[in-house]
C-alpha cells in the first residue's frame, strides 16, 4: 500500500520515533537523507500521521511490471502501517518459506483446504502472472524482430546479387582464360561468405554499442536497474547464421547464373 | 513523357533486381507506416477514449492517476457541494472502485465493481436492460454475466469481501441484475459490474461510506477547462485535478518506450529503403554509363538525365510503398492484437490507429527518400565527361 509522504522535516526529537526505509528516487527528488525526520500520513493534508526517521534507502527492484510506474515506495514496520492506515490486524499477503519442494506442496494443500477468503500460491506461479506485461512486450519484440529479419534478408539478397552482377566482366575474363565454372562459382561464393562474416562481425559490434546505449538510456528514463537489451549467444548465432546463409545463398544463385552465361555475352558483346 | 519511358525501360531491363528492390522497399514502407501509426495512434486512441463521454477533467487522490492505487478521496458529498458552486462545472460524476464476490455453486466469482451515479455516469454504455437506478440494482459486462451464469432479472447475492475468522462473506447484499453493459475502460476478459455509488459505499465498510476513487467533471466552456481545473486543485487540496492533456502527457510518459521505438524503427526503415534504392540506382547507372554518355553526346540535356534517374528512384520507392501500405495494415493489425493483451489495458485502446494522415506521412517520407536516393547517381551520371567516357567505353 502506498503512503503519501508529506514532506515536513521536524525539529523536535522524540525518543519513541520509529524508522522507515524510503525509495532512493524519493530521497533524490525530495532531497531527503538518512537520519532526516519526515511526517507520514495515509491521506494528503491529513493531520493524523506519524513522525518517523528515515533509516535506510531502498533501490528499486528489476521488476518489469513496475517499469512504467513512477510511484515511490516506502517500507515501514507492519504494525506501524496498520495503525497509520487503520487496517486493523489485517495484511494483504503472507510470504511463507518451506523446507523443501515436498513441504511446499503439502503446505499449499493444507492452507487451501482450510482457507476462506484467501489462497496460497507458489512463488513461481505469481512470478509468471506478474510478468505478463513483459511477456506481451517480448511477443511484440519478436514480431518486430521477424519483420526486421525479412527486410534485412531482402536487403542482403539484393546487395549480394548486385555485388556478383558487378563481376560480370571479371567472370567472363576468368572463363575465357580457361578457369572452370566450379572454380568461378567457388570463388564468388567464398567472397560472398567473407563479406557476410565481416558484415556480421561489424553488425555484432554495432549492436553491442547500441545495446549499451539502450540500457544506459532507458535505465535512466525509467530509473530502474532492469536490462532492456541483452545480446545473448543464441541471438548472435542466429544473426551470423542468417547472414551467412543469405549471403552464400545469394552469392551461389548469382554466380551459377553468371557461370552458365557464355563469356562473350557477359562482356556484353 | 520520354523520361518516363526511359526510366520504365531501365527498370524492366533487370526485372529480378527491380522486383527484389520493390519487395525490400515494401517491407521497409510497411514498417514505416506501422511505426508512424504507432507513434500517433495510441495517443489519439487514448484521447478519443477520455473524451468519449465529454468529461474533460478527472479528480484523483492527490499524487495519483485515476485507479492507479487503492487510495480514495474522502468527504465526497462535501466535494460535490463545493464543485456545484462553480458555474463552469455542468456535470459531476463520482466513481468508487471496489471488488465484489458472488458464490456460484462451489466456486466464487470475483469481479471489479464501480459505484456510480447512473444518471451522469461515463464509464459504460448500456447494451440491454436498464441502468442500476435502484439501490438494489447491479449491471454487468458479458464476461461477468457469463461467469456468474446469470440473466437480466436474476437476483444475485453479492459480497464485498471475506471475514476469514467467521468464515463468512462480508457485507452481503441481494442485488438484481438489471442490465448488460460494456465498460469503456474495461480490459479484455475483465469481469466488471456497476451499481449505485451509495450501494457500493455501504458495502465497502464504515471507512468508505463517503469515499470515491475518482470524480469525472464536465466543464461548460471548452476554453475554461484549464481555469476550472486550477480552481478545483486549489479548492480541494486532497485531489489532483487531471485534464485530458495532463492525462495524455502521463500516458506519453508511461508509453514513451513505444513512441521512441516507433521513431527509431521508423527512421531505420526509411534509411534501409533509401539505402536499397540508392545502391540499386547507382549500380544501374554504372552499368549504363555508355548509354547515358551517348545520350548526352546526342544533345540530351543534363537536366533530362537527372530527371530520368530520379524518376527511376521515385518509381521504385512508390511501387514499394503502395505494396507496403497493404502489408503495413496487415502487420499493424497483428501487432495491435499482441499489444492489446497488455494486462489491464482498456480494450478500446488501439496502439496502431489508422489515420489517413499516417499513410500520407509515410508516403511523403518515402517519396522524399526516393528523390534523395536518386540525387547522387543522377548527379554522377549528369557530370560524366562525354569524350573521355565514350573513349573508355570503346576501349572496354
User: Which pTM was predicted?
Assistant: 0.71
Closest B-chain CA to A269: B396
> Closest to A44 (Cβ–Cβ): which among B30, B237, B341?
B237
Q: Which residues lie below 8 Å from residue A41, measured CB to CB, with a gap of 6+? A: A3, A4, A6, A47, A48, A49, A50, A84
Decide if B192 contacts B346 (C-beta within 8 A): no
Burial of B348 (0-12, 13-18, 19+ CB in 10 A): middle
Q: What is the DSSP string of B3-17?
A: HHHHHHHHHHHTHHH
| B contact test, residue of A130, A147, A172, A173 with most B CBs within 10 A | A147
Contacts with B164 from chain A: Cβ below 8 Å = 115-118
Decide if B250 contacts B73 (C-beta within 8 A): no
Q: What is the model's pLDDT at position B396?
A: 62
Nearest to B335 by CA among B270, B265, B271: B265
Q: Do A136 and B20 touch (CB under 8 A)?
A: no
Range in A110-114, A171-175, A191-195, A261-265 with the lowest mean pLDDT:
A261-265
Nearest to B341 by CA among A66, A138, A133, A65: A133
Task: Please give the ipTM for the structure prediction.
Answer: 0.73
Closest A-chain CA to B109: A117
Q: What is the DSSP string of B80-127?
A: HHHHHT-TTEEEEEEEEEEEEEEEETTEEEEEEEEEE-TTT--SEEEE
CB pairs under 8 A between A and B: 109
Sign of the C-alpha dihedral computed for residues A269, B5, B9 and B11 taken in this order: positive
Contacts with A158 from chain B: Cβ below 8 Å = 17, 20-21, 24, 276, 279-280
Per-chain mean pLDDT for chain B: 86
Q: What is the pLDDT of residues A187-202, one digit of tens each?
A: 888 888 888 889 889 9
Q: What is the pLDDT of residues A13-29, one digit of tens each?
A: 455 678 999 998 899 98
Range in A147-151, B99-103, B116-120 with the lowest mean pLDDT:
A147-151
Q: What is the pLDDT of residues B53-68, one digit of tens each?
A: 889 999 999 888 888 7
The pLDDT of residue B319 is above 90: no
Count H helices, E strands: chain A?
A: 9, 5
Decide if B89 contacts B228 (C-beta within 8 A): yes
Q: Do B207 and A86 touch (CB under 8 A)?
A: yes
**With pLDDT > 70 as the criterion, what percentage of chain B qualifies?**
97
Q: What is the pLDDT of residues A203-251, one digit of tens each?
A: 899 999 999 998 998 888 888 888 888 889 998 998 889 888 888 888 8
Q: What is the DSSP string of B209-268?
A: TT-BSEEEEEES-GGGHHHHHHHHHHH-TTEEEEEHHHHHHHHHHHTHHHHHHHHHHHHH
Looking at the complex, does the CB of residue B338 fall below 8 Å from at least one CB of chain A?
yes
Looking at the complex, does the CB of residue B209 fall below 8 Å from at least one CB of chain A?
no
Burial of B379 (0-12, 13-18, 19+ CB in 10 A): middle
Amino acid at each position: 500500500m502506498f503512503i503519501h509522504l508529506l514532506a515536513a522535516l521536524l525539529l523536535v526529537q522524540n525518543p519513541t520515533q520509529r524508522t522507515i526505509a524510503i525509495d532512493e528516487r524519493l530521497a533524490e527528488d525530495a532531497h531527503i537523507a538518512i537520519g532526516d525526520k519526515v511526517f507520514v500520513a495515509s491521506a494528503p493534508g491529513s493531520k493524523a500521521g506519524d513522525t518517523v526517521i528515515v533509516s535506510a534507502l531502498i533501490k528499486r527492484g528489476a521488476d518489469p511490471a513496475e517499469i512504467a510506474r513512477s510511484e515511490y515506495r516506502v517500507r515501514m514496520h507492519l504494525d506501524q502501517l496498520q495503525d497509520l492506515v487503520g487496517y486493523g490486524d489485517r495484511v494483504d499477503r503472507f510470504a511463507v518459506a518451506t523446507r523443501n519442494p515436498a513441504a511446499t506442496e503439502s503446505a499449499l494443500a493444507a492452507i487451501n483446504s482450510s482457507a476462506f477468503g484467501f489462497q496460497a500460491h507458489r512463488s513461481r506461479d505469481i512470478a509468471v502472472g506478474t510478468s505478463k506485461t513483459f511477456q506481451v512486450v517480448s511477443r511484440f519484440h519478436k514480431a518486430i524482430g521477424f519483420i526486421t529479419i525479412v527486410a534485412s534478408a531482402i536487403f542482403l539478397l539484393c546487395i549480394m546479387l548486385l555485388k556478383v552482377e558487378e563481376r560480370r566482366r571479371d567472370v567472363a575474363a576468368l572463363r575465357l582464360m580457361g578457369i572452370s565454372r566450379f572454380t568461378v562459382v567457388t570463388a564468388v561464393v567464398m567472397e560472398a561468405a567473407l563479406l557476410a562474416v565481416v558484415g556480421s562481425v561489424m553488425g555484432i559490434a554495432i549492436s553491442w554499442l547500441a545495446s549499451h546505449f539502450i540500457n544506459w538510456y532507458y535505465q535512466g528514463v525509467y530509473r530502474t536497474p532492469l536490462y532492456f537489451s541483452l545480446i545473448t549467444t543464441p541471438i548472435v548465432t542466429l544473426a551470423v547464421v542468417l547472414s551467412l546463409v543469405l549471403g552464400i545463398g545469394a552469392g551461389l544463385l548469382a554466380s551459377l547464373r553468371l557461370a552458365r552465361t557464355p563469356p562473350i555475352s557477359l562482356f556484353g558483346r | 513523357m520520354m523520361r518516363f519511358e526511359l526510366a520504365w525501360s531501365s527498370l524492366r531491363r533487370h526485372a529480378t533486381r527491380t522486383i527484389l528492390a520493390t519487395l525490400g522497399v515494401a517491407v521497409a514502407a510497411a514498417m514505416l507506416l506501422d511505426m508512424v501509426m504507432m507513434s500517433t495512434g495510441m495517443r489519439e486512441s487514448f484521447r478519443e477514449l477520455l473524451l468519449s463521454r465529454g468529461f474533460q477533467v478527472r479528480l484523483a487522490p492527490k499524487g495519483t492517476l485515476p485507479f492507479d492505487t487503492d487510495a480514495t478521496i474522502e468527504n465526497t458529498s462535501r466535494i460535490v457541494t463545493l464543485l456545484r458552486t462553480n458555474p463552469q462545472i455542468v456535470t459531476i460524476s463520482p466513481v468508487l472502485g471496489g471488488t465484489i464476490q458472488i458464490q456460484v455453486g462451489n466456486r466464487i466469482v470475483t469481479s471489479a465493481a464501480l459505484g456510480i451515479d447512473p444518471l451522469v455516469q461515463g464509464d459504460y454504455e448500456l447494451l440491454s436492460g436498464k441502468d442500476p437506478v435502484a439501490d438494489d440494482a447491479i449491471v454487468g459486462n458479458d464476461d461477468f454475466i457469463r461467469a456468474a451464469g446469470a440473466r437480466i432479472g436474476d437476483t444475485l447475492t453479492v459480497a464485498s469481501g471475506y471475514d476469514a475468522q467467521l468464515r463468512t462473506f462480508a457485507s452481503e447484499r441481494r442485488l438484481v441484475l438489471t442490465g448488460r453493459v460494456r465498460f469503456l475502460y474495461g480490459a479484455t476478459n475483465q469481469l466488471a459490474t456497476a451499481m449505485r455509488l451509495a450501494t457500493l459505499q455501504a458495502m465497502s465498510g464504515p471507512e468508505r461510506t463517503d469515499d470515491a476513487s475518482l470524480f469525472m467533471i464536465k466543464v461548460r466552456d471548452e476554453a475554461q477547462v484549464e481555469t476550472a481545473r486550477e480552481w478545483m486543485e486549489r479548492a480541494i487540496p486532497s485531489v489532483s485535478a487531471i485534464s485530458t492533456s495532463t492525462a495524455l502527457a502521463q500516458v506519453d510518459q508511461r508509453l514513451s518506450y513505444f513512441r521512441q521505438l516507433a521513431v527509431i524503427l521508423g527512421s531505420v526503415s526509411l534509411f534501409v529503403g533509401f539505402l536499397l534504392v540508392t545502391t540499386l540506382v547507382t549500380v544501374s547507372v554504372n552499368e549504363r554509363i555508355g548509354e547515358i554518355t551517348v545520350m548526352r553526346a546526342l544533345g540530351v540535356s543534363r537536366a533530362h538525365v537527372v530527371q530520368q534517374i530520379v524518376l527511376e528512384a521515385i518509381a521504385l520507392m512508390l511501387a514499394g510503398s503502395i505494396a507496403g501500405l497493404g502489408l503495413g495494415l496487415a502487420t499493424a493489425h497483428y501487432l495491435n492484437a499482441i499489444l492489446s493483451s497488455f494486462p489491464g489495458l482498456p480494450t478500446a485502446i488501439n496502439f496502431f490507429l489508422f489515420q489517413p494522415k499516417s499513410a500520407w506521412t509515410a508516403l511523403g517520407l518515402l517519396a522524399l527518400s526516393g528523390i534523395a536516393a536518386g540525387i547522387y547517381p543522377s548527379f554522377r551520371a549528369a557530370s560524366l565527361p562525354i569524350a573521355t567516357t565514350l573513349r573508355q567505353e570503346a576501349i572496354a
